[in-house]
Structure 1
Amino acid sequence: MMKGVLLGLALVGVGTAADAETLYVSNERGNSISVIDAATMRTVATWAVGRRPRGITLTADGKYILLCASSDHAVQMIDRATGKLVADLPSGQDPEQFFLSRDGRTLFVANEDDAALTAIDLASRTVAFQVDVGKEPEGVAQSPDGKWVVVTSEDEGVVNWIDPVSRKMVDATPTDQRPRHVEFTPNGGALWIAAEMGGTVQIADPNTRRVVDTIRFAIPGLQDYQILPCGIRFTPDGRTAIVALGRANHVALVDVATRTVRAYVPVGKRVWHVAVSADGARAYAANGLSDNVSIIDVPAAKVVGNIPVGAGPWGIVVVP
């Protein structure tokens, strides 16, 4: 580990944009958020939060952290400057993940126990509307043009397509087993779907709302059942997808144009989700069973440091 940290600190001298960034990590078992200084690669604060924190993001103005406190059935709004709780937003039962709308006004929340997508108006801090979806919703995303909000149904093996204007579900796309996460490419031309138990990432065409391609993973020495795709993030230029592979203890770096894996990078145990620096040079992996965050040099496809955090890191967001 020390060797990895020293390598990482050597990279700090390069002066990348990532050096000025801060990471916020939701620790599912620790009921906390770890605050990490990317320049020093150290945890600088730990904030107590609600029970079983999972999805995490930032408001559009950068003032507040938004957090799914799943066992408290709330989305918590936390002052980024102080770490203090500002409000518990009404979100429905068992919020898992969410997506902040492109205009920053609405938070779309997947409520697993309600089998619903809840839209929270952030200005009034009230529920704007709720749409019934398939059982065990988790992954949520909005298309770059704002036309679609999509939410996965893990139990039913579908991705639900919701029109946010009419507030109705329009279609459902069958997927491989237990779709866990969804992410639109930066240009909006494709939706990438992590099917955890299927061991695949599937790609859907937003125009037809049908799967058009499937990416499979093979890591020497590992069995297929260990490869459990979860979080997906794209580099800002849209060229590389970073895919968390769960109990495989690796992330895959996938060429978006060719849809082929260019590298597998070993990280910590049970990697759940990933985040990417603004310049695309680094990725950060939240490792749920080793209680740390791995720092990945994306061009070199290697880990350059590991940072201890709270118990059960699950979600991660990186901000300037």
Structure 2
Amino acid sequence: MNRTGGIQVRPRALILAMLAASVTGGPAFAYTAYVSNEKGNSISVVDTDTMKVVKTVDVGQRPRGITISHDGKFIYLCASDDDTVEVIDTATMEIVSSLPSGPDPELFVLSPDGKKLYVANEDDNLVTVIDVENKKVLSEIPVGVEPEGMGISPDGKVLVNTSETTSMAHFIDTETHEVVDNVLVDTRPRYAEFTPDGSQVWVSAEVGGTVSVIDNAKREVVHKITFEIPGLRAETIQPVGVNISADGKKAYIALGPANHVAVVDTKTYEVLKYILVGQRVWHLAFTPDQKTLISTNGNSNDITFIDAATDEPVQSLTVGKEPWGVIVAPN
């Protein structure tokens, strides 16, 4: 029999209590997050349970866009200044191959079946379609000037690319690889994210300071979300990364040099909250259990862990130099 704080607890009872706690709301499952450090030319490997960097891996020049295969075995990384997409084995964290991305790859999106990678080539005004398994370019799709944001519908049929200088969202048929619609949005669109049901795509405009909500069927803007943070000038509020919860109820928008993440009700489009994070927040990623959201904060060289239940920041963690992108392994 042990005595703790004046309360007697039998060892067997203690063990049973601990097991019960693990079933009914114990600590979150440990996942691994991967952070691309744009100026550090590295990836920080982060344990999301301990909230610590467990490894730093050297990669190509100016790593930005980052994603992971659906089975979690390979990381795909835009090494922008090397004009390539690096393929990294997550078991060894070694670069095992590369994909023919075209010049200056910045952002990309993996198809729902994991077979194709759609890459925005900023310098050539193209979207490059890559066969991941065979490492071949399937198509190069002309789009607007300075393509960046890439989003794909849950069914994989519609791809959306945003062109920064043209200020448009280009809707692309993934079967024909042709642009079928163009939707004008606000200045310098940086990111495109579909809602889980595929009915809408949310496009952030960095200079315009808005997020345009586009109806996927009608291909028209149905709402524009604006932001206002007390004490901050409007020009400092620059929406970039967008992440929508798996249940489709809340959207999270990284507001760049405003150093906040906005939480938006996807039904009413009302801003529910502004979460203070690090300096120059770029992008966001959920853990698979949707309990934690991670932001990359470029100017403060750290990431922030956010409790998705309370929408409160939990902890910040120093990573490499100018963290840009983040992805969390599915397992």
**TM-superposed deviation, 1:114:** 1.1
1:155 paired residue number: 165
Separation in structure 1 between the aligned mates of residue 114 and residue 51 of structure 2, nearest angstrom: 29
**TM-superposed deviation, 1:15:** 3.0
**Please, which moves more after superposition, 277-286 or 87-96?**
277-286
**TM-superposed deviation, 1:60:** 2.1
Separation in structure 2 between the aligned mates of residue 110 and residue 285 of structure 1, nearest angstrom: 22
Deviation readout 1:281-309 (Å, 9 max, x if unpaired): 21100000000000111222211101110
Question: Is 1:86 paired with 2:121?
Answer: no
1:34 paired residue number: 44
Identify the match of residue 260 of structure 1 among 270, 273, 289.
Answer: 270
AA partner of residue 122 (structure 2): E
The secondary structure found in structure 2 opposite 1:15 is: coil
- Structure 2 residue runs without a partner (length 5+): 1-21
2:312 paired residue number: 302
**TM-superposed deviation, 1:14:** 5.5
1:289 paired residue number: 299
Identify the match of residue 60 of structure 2 among 50, 56, 68.
Answer: 50
The residue correspondences of 1:157-196 to structure 2 (distance < 5 A) are 157-196=167-206
Identify the match of residue 15 of structure 1 among 14, 23, 26.
Answer: 26
Tell me, yes or no, if the aligned pair for 1:236 and 1:279 is still in contact at 8 Å: no
The residue correspondences of 1:58-77 to structure 2 (distance < 5 A) are 58-77=68-87
Identify the match of residue 121 of structure 1 among 124, 131, 151.
Answer: 131
AA partner of residue 44 (structure 1): V
Residue identity over aligned pairs, in percent, reads: 49
Separation in structure 2 between the aligned mates of residue 41 and residue 314 of structure 1, nearest angstrom: 18
Tell me, yes or no, if the aligned pair for 1:252 and 1:264 is still in contact at 8 Å: yes
1:139 paired residue number: 149
Separation in structure 2 between the aligned mates of residue 250 and residue 236 of structure 1, nearest angstrom: 21
Separation in structure 2 between the aligned mates of residue 61 and residue 92 of structure 1, nearest angstrom: 25
Separation in structure 2 between the aligned mates of residue 15 and residue 128 of structure 1, nearest angstrom: 46
2:226 paired residue number: 216
The secondary structure found in structure 1 opposite 2:235 is: helix
**TM-superposed deviation, 1:260:** 0.8
**TM-superposed deviation, 1:103:** 0.8
Rg: which structure is higher?
2
CA RMSD of aligned residues (A): 1.3
Separation in structure 2 between the aligned mates of residue 221 and residue 64 of structure 1, nearest angstrom: 43
The residue correspondences of 1:235-274 to structure 2 (distance < 5 A) are 235-274=245-284
Between 1 and 2, higher relative CO (CA 8 Å, sep ≥ 6) is seen in 1
The secondary structure found in structure 2 opposite 1:20 is: coil
Q: Evaluate the alpha carbon distance shift between residue 14 and residue 304 of structure 1 in structure 2; reply closer, same or farther with a 3 A threshold.
A: farther
Tell me, yes or no, if the aligned pair for 1:234 and 1:276 is still in contact at 8 Å: no
TM-score by length of 2: 0.91
Deviation readout 1:154-205 (Å, 9 max, x if unpaired): 0110011111111111111100000000000001111000011000111001
- Structure 1 residue runs without a partner (length 5+): 1-11
**TM-superposed deviation, 1:16:** 4.3
The secondary structure found in structure 2 opposite 1:128 is: strand
